[in-house]
Amino acid sequence: MEAKRDITHNVKTNFKLRLDKISRNNMELRQALPFVGLLFIFLFFLIATRGRLVAASNLSNLIEQCFTITLVAVGASFIYACGLFDISIGAVMALSELSIAYLMKTGDTPIILIILIAIGTAVFCTIITSIITSVLKVNVFVSSLCMMFICNGIVTAAVSEADIYISFQDYKSANSPLLKAIVLIVMVGVGWVIFNKTRLGRDLKALGGNETAAALSGVRKVKTYILAFVCLGVCIGIAGFFSLIRVSMLSSSTGGGLGLNIFVAIVLGGFPLTGGSQSRMISAIVGALTLTLLQNGLSIMSMDPSWTHFIQGILFLIIVGLSYDRSKGKFIL
Amino acid sequence: MDNGVLFKTFGIYKSFGPTQALINVDFELRRGNVCGLIGENGSGKSTLSSIIAGILKPDKGRMYFKEKEYSPQSMLDARKSGIGIIVQEAGTLSHLTVAENIFVGDLKRFEKLGFVNEKQMYKEAEAILHKIGVDDIDPAASVDSLNFEDRKIVEIARAMYTNPEILIVDESTTALAQKGRKIIYNLIKSLQNENKAVIFISHDLDEVMYICNTVTVLRDGVKIQTLSRDEMSVDKMKKLMVGRELTNNYYRADYDGTFGEKVVLKANRITSEDGLIMNLNLELHEGEILGIGGLANCGMHELGKILFGASRPVTGEVIHTPSNTVLKKPHVAIRKGIGYLSKDRDHESIIINASIQENIALPLLDRLKKLGLLSGKKEKEIVSQQIGALSIKCISGKQFCTQLSGGNKQKVAFAKWLARQCDIFIIDCPTRGIDIGVKAAIYSMIYELKKEGKSIIMISEELPELIGMSDRILIMKNGAIAAEIPRSKNVNDSMLIEYMI
Amino acid sequence: MKKLKVNLLKMLKTILLPVIVYLVLLIATGGRFGKPSSLLMVFRLSVIPIMIAYAIGMNMTIGMWDFSVGGIIYASAILGGTLSHKTGTGVWGMFIFIVGIAILFSTLNGILYKLMKIPSLVLTTGMLMVYEALPRVIGIKEVKISISDGVLAQMPWCYIILFVMFALFYVVYNKTSLGYNVKATGANQIIASNAGIDIEKVKFQSFLFGGVFAGLAAVLLLSNNTTIRPIASMGSIHLLFDAMMGVFIAFFLSSSCNFAVGIVIGTVSMQMLTSGLVAMGLDTNARSIASGLFLLILLIISSNQGSFAKMVRRKQLAKEANLKYTEG
């Protein structure tokens, strides 16, 4: 009897050890999965579109499409790293576009000034969100929700008479895919350096891991949160500028759904939603690229947009389902 | 009266990661018994009681309750079989009423045609509160309107409404004032009279002497001995708890309690937000180990936070004297070379879900710059140096702290401040829940620091540790310093306890 | 006697919010807003947001988000409406098909949540994309019902539905063990689970329960609009956000009034504000700005109630300490 129990116990412990090992391997697998997913989707569409995916005409398209989402995802990775969230991203981008749309209509303001105003507006909004969150202690979901309502309201009011059009000719030079590619690469580079090679990135990850312990190690919470939102604001502002030039109009639907798209991209890339130590900027970029490829690929295959969303949703759930860290078990919310 | 065995365990094993919390524990409880379960922090007494109460499951071993095999799946399961527990820090559910808190998880019993019969629920809640001797708590009131003490009483009612045959009291009395203690003592008496049984866990050996008629001693997860009423004495229990390993060379050997003249940290008339500390003055000198002790609710843990700038005092201020800076925030204190180790290691000292390297480097980031950017090389160097110096058991600095034992986590927490080369260390319960080996290492480290001329404030619940290490001991009571005791051979536990109560 | 006084005080506190909003608007519009007819209009416009607020109310009490609710409403309205059209079952067919499909979807949410163990926010965002696209994917371009079939959104039916659903939510939330368990789980999952509540089951039931209300909201939406086209790019999210405002206000009011009542008061107050601003001659778009600001102010107050009390306590304590010091 006793011996039998011992054997079952041993078997159990062995099994447990094996499980531990599997789960550790799992962690590596989980981290690798988004990359595999990206590669898979790339290859799939490469074959399915018979190479049209990488044709010159589509490459510039790809750059256009991935520009906004990748750039903003890089900015968003700063706030996601400390476990925060911002649903107002799209609305803030629309507002920053509005702030420069009138200036661009006349076309005699220096381009640098315009970019600065776009960035300034976006940063102003994100700073307010961060202050409401960190100083006034309102849940970030709610504070960004309110920010979204306010920005949306202003933009909708401004375009209620008619959509605002800007003259495309004056800013043609700023609409080249090459320029955008360069800007994107520079921004990703700068973002990577700030995220990995300065105090800010480390402090953010520490705050995501454990706010109290981080504060007791000298991390200044309010300052760090505000800086993170500033990074996001800068990216939104730049993205807004280029997107306004490309579309050359502003309507009430500008920026709609961008916040959630960023959320989808971040999760797709395997970025932990609670932030913390395992936050990596590359996850945000991989997620953004995956999303872009998916949308672009499906549209080349002249798939109905609703199918695109449908497939996107299911794929999103599959990738998250496979890569999500379930250590919280049933206590997840 | 039937004095038969009511409950028994055979060969209970339990481990948490690399730490063995219980090793082959046989435990026995007879009817009419109040059995004390004692041991130092980390000895496994709470683990054992949690297993009996269904909160944890043993890795191995069997339990028998009323001569039947017993393996509870949950706390509710255990409660239904007749074993209730009052835990140290369970807490109540806010926004809910008193009655809802008492019957949480078991509201089906009041269901009629799918609806919960509130009237009956409140009536039964009132009855159970009355039975444990409380008449001034309204069962329909929200728990948020109750004070800490009364919320604890609600928890007691939660454990009692099923009429348990075994009641486990896990260090609940330490947090309670007179009213709550009295209720628990009365409960224990009446259970004893009904020929039921109680498992009583406490740090307060005098209380154990007063309440229990047997006592079981655990040490490092192993059952050492069970003493009957005639064999029980505070001295004997203490000896058994601490074991032979605790000799004098464990602590520092000298009785030279001298330190520098220079004051490095000063608290002027500070009052804490919870009112536990009032108008307290304190001075820390260069090269001094200042021990601070007191009962659980004397405010000494809060004092540590205030000294580090992590809590804002209501009155007064904390001054770093060499630079004459008022310490208002942790980052200011850190810049002045002060390090702080919280009592709550897993939640406040280190980030569990981060690597050893990230933890150690966190307060140090401003010194790792090279051309304005963080230098990974420098970071790695400093971290591996600390890992070596403290002999932290790990695969590499990249390993996550979740996988470390308590002692190694504490070493990581220490390493943060050692790597920053702090001059002042404020350490709160530095050896809480840590095995003997690491304990000794930490003591010798503290002593080394003192000899280098660093200053240490050591807040501790363990009196031997205070006596063994401090140059000067401050005993806190009623929000103020009740006694100041210089280092000498003649200081002993009972002397300190005298000042505390 | 004392209890009565407390209850009266609570009631006063509860109706303070809508009354203040009403009075401010009444004065600001110089009496143009606030006639019984406009109040009735406000109430009618609140019916659908209230229904959606109930659909997410239980989940939000637990601490879960349901982003897919808008998607469920659109999908079930379109699919259910089409089915009733094809089967020629009229109003009742529409009612049953739509509610049934909504419950089916929310059950699917619940099952996937239990199986996948990923945060509800993530799961429901994914499901939102799926639900929104679903009608188009199976080839339905729009659903159109005759005005006579839209009877459920008209008086008195919309109020009957509102009343019945209010009663249902009130009873389940306050009087059944599901309601109690939901509140306990929301307060602290770990304690609740230790106390024997099967929190996975509670969460599943909460999803399911929300589905009933989402279904009713879909019925009312279709009856009201008579034509619904599939929506894309998370366009249904505004339905959710409007309802969320009501729930947040209900949480804000929860110390003085019941959650089920608080949702009605919160949603109606928001709706009143919107209509009032329009009556003030402000652009319809100012609505979004005003409601954002309004909610923000409410939540800043509620998040900082504790800090204010703390400040007072600190002052008192400091005084006490100083007194003690000068005495001794």
Pairing of strands B373-374, B369-370: antiparallel
Who wins on pLDDT, B419 or A319? B419
**Considering only alpha carbons, which residue of chain A is nearest residue C232?**
A306
**Residue C149 CB-half CA count within 13 A:** 22
| Integer Cα distance of A304 and B225 in angstroms | 76
How many inter-chain contacts (B to C, CB under 8 Å) are there? 90
Find all residues with CB under 8 Å of A297, minimum gap 6, and list them.
Answer: A41, A44, A45, A48, A49, A53
Question: Any idea what DSSP says for residue B40?
Answer: S
Q: What is the predicted pLDDT for the residue at B172?
A: 65
Q: What is the predicted pLDDT for the residue at C54?
A: 96
Of C103, C68, C57, C46, residue with least CA distance to C268: C46
Least CB–CB distance from B115: residue in C176, C317, C318: C176
CB contact under 8 A, B94 and C187: yes
Buried b (16+ CB within 10 A) or exposed e, C252-286: bbeebbbbbebbbbbbbbbbbbbbbbebeebeebb
Q: What is the predicted pLDDT for the residue at B438?
A: 82
| pLDDT of B213 over the 70 cut | yes
Of B145, B195, B143, B202, residue with least CA distance to B170: B202
Query: C129: left (phi > 0), else alpha (psi -120 to 50), else beta?
Result: alpha
Q: What is the predicted pLDDT for the residue at B17?
A: 67
CB contact under 8 A, A314 and C130: yes
Does residue C281 belong to the interface with chain A, where contact is any CB pair within 8 Å? no
Show which residues on chain B lie within 8 Å of chain A, measured between beta carbons.
Answer: 59-60, 308, 310, 329-331, 334-335, 340, 342, 347-355, 358, 361-363, 365-366, 372-374, 400, 416
Q: What percent of chain A has a predicted confidence (pLDDT) above 90? A: 41
The phi and psi torsions of B137 (rounded to 5 degrees) equal -110, 125
Of B301, B319, B199, residue with least CA distance to B264: B319
CB contact under 8 A, C181 and B107: yes
**Considering only alpha carbons, which residue of chain A is nearest residue B401?**
A277
Q: What is the mean pLDDT of chain A?
A: 85
Q: What is the predicted pLDDT for the residue at B173?
A: 64
Pairing of strands B68-69, B60-65: antiparallel
Q: What is the mean pLDDT of chain C?
A: 87
Tell me which of C189, C317, C320 to substitute to probe the interface with B (most B C-beta atoms closer than 10 Å).
C317
CA distance C173 to chain A (A): 20
Q: Which chains touch B (3 or more CB pairs under 8 A)?
A: A, C
Contacts of C288 in chain A (CB under 8 A): 149-150, 152-153, 156
* Residue numbers of C between 190 and 249 with CB closer than 8 Å to B: 191-192, 194-197
Weakest-pLDDT range from A60-64, A317-321, B178-182: B178-182
CB contact under 8 A, B116 and C321: no
The Cα-based distances of B120 to B30, B99, B139, B329, B434 in angstroms read 35, 10, 11, 52, 48
CB contact under 8 A, B105 and C195: yes
Pairing of strands B338-341, B424-428: parallel
CB contact under 8 A, A202 and B358: yes
Joined tokens for residue B223: 């059952």
R_g (Cα) of chain A, nearest Å: 22
Show which residues on chain A lie within 8 Å of chain B, measured between beta carbons.
Answer: 5, 9, 13, 193, 196-199, 202-203, 205-206, 209-210, 212-220, 276-278
Tell me which of B69, B336, B348, B355 to substitute to probe the interface with A (most A C-beta atoms closer than 10 Å).
B348
Contacts of B361 in chain A (CB under 8 A): 202
Q: What is the predicted pLDDT for the residue at A11?
A: 44
ipTM of the prediction: 0.84
Contacts of C175 in chain B (CB under 8 A): 115-116, 118
Mean of pLDDT values over B414-424: 93
Joined tokens for residue C165: 């659903």
Q: What is the predicted pLDDT for the residue at B308?
A: 94
Joined tokens for residue B315: 């009155």
CB contact under 8 A, A216 and B373: no
| Integer Cα distance of C131 and A312 in angstroms | 12
Query: Could you report the per-residue pLDDT of C166-180, keeping only the tens digit for each?
Result: 999 999 999 898 999
pLDDT bracket for residue A272 (50, 70, 90): confident
Who wins on pLDDT, C140 or B247? C140
Residue type, C120: S
Of A90, A152, A101, A123, residue with least CA distance to A229: A123
The Cα-based distances of B364 to A207, A277, B326, B423 in angstroms read 16, 17, 21, 14
Joined tokens for residue C261: 């009542």
Find all residues with CB under 8 Å of B129, minimum gap 6, and list them.
Answer: B98, B135, B137, B139, B153, B157
A262 and A87 Cβ atoms separated by less than 8 Å:
no
C222 and C146 Cβ atoms separated by less than 8 Å:
no
Least CB–CB distance from A277: residue in B335, B348, B358: B358
Who wins on pLDDT, C224 or B180? C224
B54 and B73 Cβ atoms separated by less than 8 Å:
yes
How many inter-chain contacts (A to B, CB under 8 Å) are there? 80
| pLDDT of A19 over the 80 cut | no
| Integer Cα distance of B238 and A229 in angstroms | 56
Specify the 3-state DSSP secondary structure of C283. coil
CA–chain centroid gap for A6, Å, is: 52
pLDDT bracket for residue B2 (50, 70, 90): low
CA distance B417 to chain A (A): 9
Does residue C300 belong to the interface with chain A, where contact is any CB pair within 8 Å? yes
Q: Which chains touch C (3 or more CB pairs under 8 A)?
A: A, B
Q: Which residue is it, tokens 């009364």?
A: B150
Query: Could you report the per-residue pLDDT of B11-57, keeping only the tens digit for each?
Result: 999 887 666 788 899 998 999 889 998 887 667 888 898 899 888 88
Residue B63: count of CB within 10 angstroms of its CB: 19
Q: What is the mean pLDDT of chain B?
A: 86
Question: Any idea what DSSP says for residue B347?
Answer: I
A202 and B368 Cβ atoms separated by less than 8 Å:
no
Does residue C112 belong to the interface with chain A, where contact is any CB pair within 8 Å? yes
| Integer Cα distance of C39 and C276 in angstroms | 10
How many inter-chain contacts (A to C, CB under 8 Å) are there? 155
Weakest-pLDDT range from A96-100, B460-464, C211-215, C312-316: B460-464
**Considering only alpha carbons, which residue of chain C is nearest residue B84?**
C195
Contacts of C318 in chain B (CB under 8 A): 271, 314-315
Of A219, A326, A213, residue with least CA distance to A273: A326
Tell me which of A87, A138, A324 to substitute to probe the interface with C (most C C-beta atoms closer than 10 Å).
A138
CB contact under 8 A, C192 and B273: no
CB contact under 8 A, C133 and A321: no
CB contact under 8 A, A216 and B354: no
| pLDDT of A201 over the 90 cut | yes
Please, which residues bridge with residue A250 across strands?
A164
- Report, in this order, helix, strand and coil percent for chain A, each rounded to 5: 80, 0, 20
Buried b (16+ CB within 10 A) or exposed e, C177-207: bbbbbbbbbbbbbebbbbbbbbbbebbbbbb
Q: What is the 3-state secondary structure (H, E, C) of A160-198?
A: CCCCEECCCHHHHHHHCHHHHHHHHHHHHHHHHHHHHHC
* For residue A177, cis peptide bond before it (omega within 30 degrees of 0): no
Q: What is the predicted pLDDT for the residue at B413?
A: 93
A255 and A90 Cβ atoms separated by less than 8 Å:
yes
Find all residues with CB under 8 Å of C123, minimum gap 6, and list them.
Answer: A317, C109, C112, C113, C116
CB contact under 8 A, A214 and B400: no
CA distance B491 to chain C (A): 30
Of B446, B360, B374, B365, residue with least CA distance to B404: B360
Contacts of C300 in chain A (CB under 8 A): 132, 136, 138
Q: What percent of chain B has a predicted confidence (pLDDT) above 90? A: 30
Query: Could you report the per-residue pLDDT of C38-82, keeping only the tens digit for each?
Result: 888 888 889 999 999 999 999 999 989 898 999 999 999 999 999
Does residue B120 belong to the interface with chain C, where contact is any CB pair within 8 Å? no
| Integer Cα distance of B92 and B157 in angstroms | 12
| pLDDT of A56 over the 90 cut | no
B392 and B408 Cβ atoms separated by less than 8 Å:
yes
Q: What is the pLDDT along chain C (328 residues), one digit of tens a residue?
A: 566 777 788 788 778 888 888 888 888 888 777 788 888 888 888 999 999 999 999 999 998 989 899 999 999 999 999 999 899 888 899 999 999 999 999 999 999 999 988 889 889 988 998 999 999 988 888 898 888 888 888 888 889 999 999 999 999 999 898 999 999 999 988 888 877 888 999 999 999 999 999 999 999 999 999 899 988 777 787 788 778 888 988 988 887 888 999 999 999 988 888 888 777 777 666 667 877 787 788 778 877 877 888 888 899 989 988 888 888 6
Q: What percent of chain A has a predicted confidence (pLDDT) above 70? A: 90
Residue B440: count of CB within 10 angstroms of its CB: 17
Query: Could you report the per-residue pLDDT of B280-322, keeping only the tens digit for each?
Result: 999 999 999 999 988 767 888 899 999 999 999 999 999 999 9
Residue type, C93: G
B51 and B19 Cβ atoms separated by less than 8 Å:
no
Mean of pLDDT values over B187-193: 89
* Residue numbers of B between 415 and 454 with CB closer than 8 Å to C: none
Mean of pLDDT values over B366-372: 83
Specify the 3-state DSSP secondary structure of C278. helix
- Give the ranges where B281-435 is alpha helix by DSSP (H): 300-308, 330-335, 356-361, 376-389, 406-419
CA distance B463 to chain C (A): 29
Does residue C258 belong to the interface with chain B, where contact is any CB pair within 8 Å? no
A214 and A163 Cβ atoms separated by less than 8 Å:
no
Where are the strands (E) in C214-277, listed by range?
227-228
As a residue count, chain A comes to: 333
Query: Could you report the per-residue pLDDT of B79-106, keeping only the tens digit for each?
Result: 888 998 887 666 788 888 899 888 888 8
**Residue A138 CB-half CA count within 13 A:** 25
CB contact under 8 A, B365 and A203: yes
Of C249, C276, C305, C323, residue with least CA distance to C17: C249
Residue type, B18: P
Find all residues with CB under 8 Å of C266, minimum gap 6, and list them.
Answer: C17, C53, C245, C246, C247, C248, C249, C250, C252, C253
Provide the edge-to-edge strand list for the sheet that holds B455-459.
Answer: B338-341, B424-428, B455-459, B289-294, B472-477, B480-486
Query: Could you report the per-residue pLDDT of B325-352, keeping only the tens digit for each?
Result: 999 999 999 999 999 999 888 889 999 8
Q: What is the predicted pLDDT for the residue at B93?
A: 86
The phi and psi torsions of B69 (rounded to 5 degrees) equal -65, 140
**Considering only alpha carbons, which residue of chain C is nearest residue B73?**
C196
Mean of pLDDT values over A311-325: 81
Query: Could you report the per-residue pLDDT of B146-174, keeping only the tens digit for each?
Result: 877 788 888 888 888 888 899 998 876 66
